Amino acid sequence: MRPTLLAALLLAATAVADPPTPEVTAGVYLIDGAKLAKAGDLDGAFKSFTDAIRILPGSDAAYGGRGYVWLRKKDPDRALADLNRAIELNPRSAPAHFTRGEAWEAKGDYGAAAADYTEALRLDPKAAVALKFRARAYVHRGDPTRAEADLTRYMTLRPDDPEAYAMRGFLRLDAGENHRSTFDFDEAIRLDPKHLPAYVGRARAWRKMKLYDRALADAEEVLRLEPAAARGYVERGAAYEARGEWSRAVSDYNEVLRLDPGRAAVYQKRAWLRASCPAPGIRNAELAVADARRACELTDWKDPTALESLAAAEAESGRFAEAIASVDRALADAEYAKSPDGDGARDRRKIYEEGKAYRLGAAAEVPGEEDDPERTKRLISEVVGTGLIALVVSGLVAFRLRRFGVWPFARRVPPAVADDPPTPPGP
C-alpha cells in the first residue's frame, strides 16, 4: 500500500539527511494509518498499522491503532488481542485503555469497560470523553447515579455536546423525573436542532406527563427530519394510543415493523392493543397471539412485558389456563413482580381465572361475546319482546285508568243535579 502524500513527504525529508530509522519509518506508517482511519478507509489504515508493526514490533501505538481498526470493523476479539498487546508494551497508554474500554463494551462486559475508562482518566485527567463513555457503561450496569454524576462532570468540561444532555435526559426520564428531563432535551435541541434522540426523549416525557399534543408535535418533528425514522413512528403511535386513537396507533406500529422488523417492544405494543383494546374493531385474538409470541421470541422469553401481552392475547382467544401460566411466568421475574406492573399482572390474573378477557380502561368481558352474531340476534329478540310486553301492559293500564277517570289526568264531570232548595224563611 502506498503512503499518503503527507507521509511520503515526511519519509523523503528524513531520507535526505540519513537513511530513515525503523522508528521514523514506522512513525510514517502510523501517521498514514491515523489519517486513513479518520477518513473511513479502514482497510488502508489496517495495512498501514500492520506495516508499522512489521517494521517496529515494539510499537504500542501501532498495536493500539490496529486494535482501533479491528473495533471499527466490528471484531472486538481481535481488537482486544491487539489492545492487550499495546498495554503490555506501554501500561501508561491512556488511548489504549480507552479503546480497550470500547472493545469491552462491544462484547457486553460493562464492568471491564468502566475499569478501563477509569484507568484512562487516571492516566490522563483531561480525557473528558472517557467520562461520557464511562457513564454509558454505568447505565448498562444499572448504576444511573454514577452515570449521571459522570455526565454532569463531563458537561462542565464540554458544555457544547448535545449527546451528553440527551443521555442525561434519558437517565432522568427513566428515573421518573419527566419534567426535569425536558430541560436536558431542550438544551440538546438548542445545541443541535436536528438531534433526533432529544426529540424522541422529549416526546416520551410529554406523553408521560399527559401532554399528548406536545408529544405528537415532537414525534412529527422526528419524522420531518427523518421520514424513515422508526423511532418517530414508535413515539407517535404511543401518543395516539395514550389518547385512545387506537386505529392510528396500530397504523404507526405497523409502519415501525415494516421499517424495522426486529423491534420486540413494538410487537408487544401491537399485541397488547389487538388483545385488550376496548374497540372491537381493533381486537384480533389470532394476530395478537402471533405478535406476542414474536415479541417473546425476540427477547428469549425473558421479558415479562412480552409475556404479559401473550397472556392477554391467550385470554382473548379463550385459552385461560395458558394465559394464567404466561402471567405466572412473567411474575417469576422478581423485580417485575415487586413493581406496579406486577400488581397489575396479578389483577389481570384474577380476571383470567374468572374466564374473562382484560379490556383497557373498561370492564372485563367474556371474549368474543360482543362479536357473536347469534348473541346479537338473541339480544335483539329480547329487546323487541320486552318492548312488546311493555307496550301491552301499558295499554291495559291506560285503559283501566281511563275507565275510572284517572287518566288522562282530568276528572270526569259529575252528573247534573237540581239546585238546593232555598232555605225557608224563619218564623
| Residue 250: band (very low, low, confident or very high) from pLDDT cuts 50, 70, 90 | very high
pLDDT value at residue 79: 97
Is pLDDT larger for residue 337 or for residue 403? Answer: 337
Convert the pLDDT of each residue in 56-95 to its tens digit.
999 999 999 999 999 999 999 999 999 999 999 999 999 9
pLDDT value at residue 111: 97
Report field, pTM of the whole predicted structure over 0.85: no
User: Does 420 score more than 80 pLDDT?
Assistant: no
d(CA 180, CA 177): 5
pLDDT value at residue 2: 45
d(CA 263, CA 388): 56
Judge whether 87 and 97 are in contact, CB under 8 Å: yes
pLDDT value at residue 402: 59
Which has the closest alpha carbon to 83: 111, 32, 119? 119
Judge whether 237 and 253 are in contact, CB under 8 Å: yes
Provide the Cα torsion 354, 355, 357, 358; round to 10°.
10
Helix axes 110-123, 94-106, angle to 10 degrees: 170
3-state SS track over the chain? CCCCHHHHHHHHHHHHHCCCCHHHHHHHHHHHHHHHHHHCCHHHHHHHHHHHHHHCCCCHHHHHHHHHHHHHCCCHHHHHHHHHHHHHHCCCCHHHHHHHHHHHHHCCCHHHHHHHHHHHHHHCCCCCHHHHHHHHHHHHCCCHHHHHHHHHHHHHHCCCCHHHHHHHHHHHHHCCCHHHHHHHHHHHHHHCCCCHHHHHHHHHHHHHCCCHHHHHHHHHHHHHHCCCCHHHHHHHHHHHHHCCCHHHHHHHHHHHHHHCCCCHHHHHHHHHHHHHCCCCCCCCHHHHHHHHHHHHHHCCCCCHHHHHHHHHHHHHCCCHHHHHHHHHHHHCCHHHHHCHHHHHHHHHHHHHHCCCECCCCCCCECCCHHHCHHHHHHHHHHHHHHHHHHHHHHHHHHHHHHHCCCCCCCCCCCCCCCCCCCCCCCC
- Write down the residue that cell numbers 329480547 correspond to: 382
Which cell goes with 343?
400488581
Longest distance between any two alpha carbons in the chain, whole Å: 172
- Write down the residue that cell numbers 440538546 correspond to: 188
pLDDT value at residue 377: 54
Question: Which own/partner pairs from 35-40 qualify as long-range (CB within 8 Å, at least 24 positions apart)?
Answer: 35/4, 35/6, 35/7, 36/4, 37/65, 37/68, 37/69, 37/72
d(CA 315, CA 323): 6
User: Does 131 score more than 80 pLDDT?
Assistant: yes
pLDDT average, residue stretch 256-275? 97
User: Does 418 score more than 70 pLDDT?
Assistant: no
Cα-flanking dihedrals φ and ψ of residue 67, to 5°? -60, -40
pLDDT average, residue stretch 386-408? 55
Q: Tell me: cis bond preceding 408? Omega within 30 of 0 counts.
A: yes
Convert the pLDDT of each residue in 180-227 to its tens digit.
999 999 999 999 999 999 999 999 999 999 999 999 999 999 999 999
Alpha-carbon distances of 393 from 132, 299, 387, 390, 401, rounded to whole Å = 81, 63, 10, 5, 12
pLDDT value at residue 88: 98
pLDDT value at residue 6: 45
| Residue 174: band (very low, low, confident or very high) from pLDDT cuts 50, 70, 90 | very high
User: Does 378 score more than 60 pLDDT?
Assistant: no
CATH superfamily of 160-261: Tetratricopeptide repeat domain (1.25.40.10)
Convert the pLDDT of each residue in 14-47 to its tens digit.
544 466 798 899 999 999 999 999 999 999 999 9
pLDDT value at residue 237: 98
| Residue 318: band (very low, low, confident or very high) from pLDDT cuts 50, 70, 90 | very high
Judge whether 189 and 177 are in contact, CB under 8 Å: no
Judge whether 288 and 271 are in contact, CB under 8 Å: yes
Residue ranges per domain, the chain? 160-261, 281-362
CB atoms within 10 A of CB 280: 11
pLDDT value at residue 20: 79
What does pLDDT average to over the chain? 87
Q: How far is CA 388 from the centre of its chain?
A: 55
pLDDT value at residue 363: 76
pLDDT value at residue 144: 96
Paired strand residues for 357: 365
- 382 Ramachandran zone, left/alpha/beta (phi>0; psi -120 to 50): alpha
| Residue 410: band (very low, low, confident or very high) from pLDDT cuts 50, 70, 90 | very low
d(CA 412, CA 419): 20
pLDDT value at residue 399: 52
User: Does 106 score more than 80 pLDDT?
Assistant: yes
Contacts (Cβ under 8 Å, ≥6 apart) of 293: 310
Convert the pLDDT of each residue in 289-303 to its tens digit.
999 999 999 999 999
Convert the pLDDT of each residue in 343-369 to its tens digit.
999 999 999 999 999 999 877 777 765
